[in-house]
Structure 1
Amino acid sequence: MAEENNSQPAQAVNDVSDLLPPHHWAQVAEELGDTDSALGDDSAESTASITSSILQYRNINGRTYHHDIGNAQYCDIEDCTQEWTFASNSQDYIHLRWLVGSIVDWDQLFKEAYRCLKPGGYIESHEALSRMDCDDGTITEKSAMHQWGKFFVEGGKKIGRSFTIVEDGVQKSAMEKAGFIDIEERDFKVPIGGWPKDPKMKEIGRYAQATLEQDIEGYVLFMANTVEGWTKEEVEVYISMLRRELRQGNMHPYYWQKVVWAQKPKE
């Protein structure tokens, strides 16, 4: 588990509208003479200690995917933004995770969950901030890490899907509107990279970095290219700058996660 912190994620964030233009990253790359290994697909030294099996992904049409996990006959695949097919009052527990950027109407989502839960049943929601934070000023305003979350926040505004769910307190608010009671929440810092001194947090950070590095393009390409209008080449230059920062190890990034859970009244 990542580090629990009683303090709240900052509600007032830096202006996300000042997304640096692609020529900024081209200029930085030129100044650094950056055609280095950051553009490659080799695993960074900081992730070398991670069990190699988690890095054995599949490559299909130039994109990287997890191992084949079968035909998913063990679960139902549905669209959670539509009316759920579960019967009313039929479920003991509903778990929602990492839906940020996928939902237009969060109130309706939690209303459906409320309908499907049995009286006394529980719901649990995990979401995360899209931006990278630090506590020591190592992430500067013009760094690639600082710009990371802005792709999603700005892009989300344009496609009508918010990426500021945690900052806006959407999980708790939507649960309250749906009728849930005994709502509780916890905030967690998740490091990115092997910079923490604590061994467990260092391990978590290395996993987080490995996850991000294996498909940075997959995360950001739609927002940067389709929504913001960057070319694929411009996106690749930005990615090389982000990967460089991740591997240098002199920045101390983390992101916030929030878990909120509640109960449907027994009566």
Structure 2
Amino acid sequence: MASGGVHIPIDDEYTNGREVGEDDDDHYSYSSGRTVATTSTMYRHENGRTYHAYRGMSTAEYWQPNDSKQNNAEAILHHICLMTLEDRLYLAPIGSSPRRILDVGTGTGIWATDMADKFANAQVIGTDLSPVPPGMQPDNVTFEVDDCCSAWVYPENHFDFVHIRGLFGSIADWPKFYKEAYRHLRPGGHIEQIEWSVHVRSADGTLSPSSVLAQWPQTFVHAGRLTGKTFEIAENMAGLIREAGFVEVVEKRFKWPVGPWSSDPKLKEIGKWNLLSWEEGMEGWVMAAYTRVLGWSYQQVQEWLIEVRKALRDRRRHVYHEVRLVYARKPS
């Protein structure tokens, strides 16, 4: 079952205002209280950013940095997800008392920590290639450094809920990944995944095929083909989850404007935060993929990002990208 997004109304007053320029940076500044310090012995340094160094694996295994700048971007994305889901951490019907919850690719651990706060009697585990430094986490959440592409070490039929968010471009064998999730969920347990499409779309035909933002997804798709790790899992995860044996598969689709150009109050607020997310996160999204896989230089990446930022700040461009959430149940 699928649920589609609605048409995005456009705020003409915003569109006809002055273009957002370099002097507006302070308006979009953001400082998260959840930033964490890097541990130099655990991370690798490349192009001014830090990346995981799990078990001596090549940094090509995962493309996103794990430094404080990217952690700020992750906090912004978490906030946008909460706005999108109307302050809910998930949509799957997991009941009021799940006992064991697994958050795969936990990142900063913000979702797992919030779930541990919500379900004080549950055991919550967050796994990632990079460590989550100790903080003010509840006692019922544990963070483990692990590779979700390897065999899962947990008992079969163990978890009530497996949660995945933002792993596009990170998994080479998605069918195998979903089979692992299926095997380790108890009968009747749920899986939920939320991913955002790399494809930027126009709400009113203002995005020409030759524009910078139209070219943006092409580089990701190409990098995914070269590495064997697709960046288009958002478009395919519902079918793959169903093929893994899950039932009652539900897909929800949302639209995230890039910029506050919509006249719809909720979408305007999401768009404002999403533009901030791009501003804060885009260097981390592209640096590794472009330099390691596509052979770009650091300077070429920075010049490209200048063009992308300029396009994003053009009030005449009403662009958005789709976000999909899928949840499903393991048969009882």
The TM-score, its normalising length taken from structure 2, stands at 0.62
Identity rate of aligned residues, in percent? 33
CA contact (8 A) 2:70 2:280 kept: no
Q: How far apart are residue 216 of structure 1 and its match? A: 2.1
Deviations 1:99-136 (A, max 9, x none): 11001111111111111111111111112211211121
- What is the alpha-carbon distance in structure 1 between the residues aligned to residue 154 and residue 33 of structure 2? 36
Count residues with an aligned counterpart.
227
Residue 323 of structure 2: SS of its match in structure 1?
A: strand
Residue 178 of structure 2: SS of its match in structure 1?
A: helix
User: Residue 118 and residue 223 in structure 1: after superposition, are their counterparts in 2 closer, same or farther (change >3 A)?
Assistant: same
In structure 1, what residue type is equivalent to 2:133?
G
- What is the alpha-carbon distance in structure 2 between the residues aligned to residue 59 and residue 92 of structure 1? 32
Residue matched to 1:70: 133
In structure 2, what residue type is equivalent to 1:208?
N
Picking from 179, 191, 199, the partner of 2:265 is 199
Deviations 1:80-116 (A, max 9, x none): 1111111101111111111110011111111111111
Higher strand share: 2
In structure 2, what residue type is equivalent to 1:90?
H
Q: How far apart are residue 172 of structure 1 and its match? A: 2.1
Where does 1:1-267 land on structure 2 (aligned, <5 Å)?
Answer: 5=5, 43=25, 45=27, 47=28, 52-54=30-32, 62-63=48-49, 64-66=69-71, 70-71=133-134, 74-167=142-235, 169=236, 171-266=237-332
Deviations 1:23-44 (A, max 9, x none): xxxxxxxxxxxxxx75x9x726
Q: Which fold has the larger relative contact order, with Cα–Cα distance below 8 Å and residues 6 or more apart in sequence?
A: 1
Aligned residues: CA RMSD: 2.7
- What is the alpha-carbon distance in structure 2 between the residues aligned to residue 113 and residue 56 of structure 1? 29
CA contact (8 A) 1:111 1:178 kept: yes
CA contact (8 A) 2:70 2:284 kept: no
- What is the alpha-carbon distance in structure 1 between the residues aligned to residue 222 and residue 161 of structure 2? 34
User: Residue 222 and residue 65 in structure 1: after superposition, are their counterparts in 2 closer, same or farther (change >3 A)?
Assistant: closer
User: Residue 74 and residue 163 in structure 1: after superposition, are their counterparts in 2 closer, same or farther (change >3 A)?
Assistant: same
Q: How far apart are residue 6 of structure 1 and its match? A: 6.5
User: Residue 4 and residue 179 in structure 1: after superposition, are their counterparts in 2 closer, same or farther (change >3 A)?
Assistant: closer
- What is the alpha-carbon distance in structure 1 between the residues aligned to residue 213 and residue 134 of structure 2? 37
Residue matched to 2:18: none
Residue 88 of structure 1: SS of its match in structure 2?
A: coil
- What is the alpha-carbon distance in structure 2 between the residues aligned to residue 113 and residue 193 of structure 1? 36
In structure 2, what residue type is equivalent to 1:98?
G
The TM-score, its normalising length taken from structure 1, stands at 0.76
- What is the alpha-carbon distance in structure 2 between the residues aligned to residue 58 and residue 193 of structure 1? 27
Q: Compare 225-234 and 147-156 and name the one that shifted more.
A: 225-234
User: Residue 90 and residue 59 in structure 1: after superposition, are their counterparts in 2 closer, same or farther (change >3 A)?
Assistant: closer
Q: How far apart are residue 225 of structure 1 and its match? A: 2.2
- What is the alpha-carbon distance in structure 2 between the residues aligned to residue 132 and residue 55 of structure 1? 30
Q: How far apart are residue 148 of structure 1 and its match? A: 1.1
Q: How far apart are residue 183 of structure 1 and its match? A: 1.1
Q: Which runs of 5+ in 2 are unaligned?
A: 8-20, 39-44, 50-68, 73-107, 109-131, 136-140
Deviations 1:34-90 (A, max 9, x none): xxx75x9x7264x36xxx433996797744243687337732332111111111011
User: Residue 201 and residue 195 in structure 1: after superposition, are their counterparts in 2 closer, same or farther (change >3 A)?
Assistant: same
Deviations 1:169-203 (A, max 9, x none): 2x122222221111111111111111111122111
- What is the alpha-carbon distance in structure 2 between the residues aligned to residue 213 and residue 6 of structure 1? 26
Residue 127 of structure 1: SS of its match in structure 2?
A: strand
CA contact (8 A) 1:4 1:189 kept: no
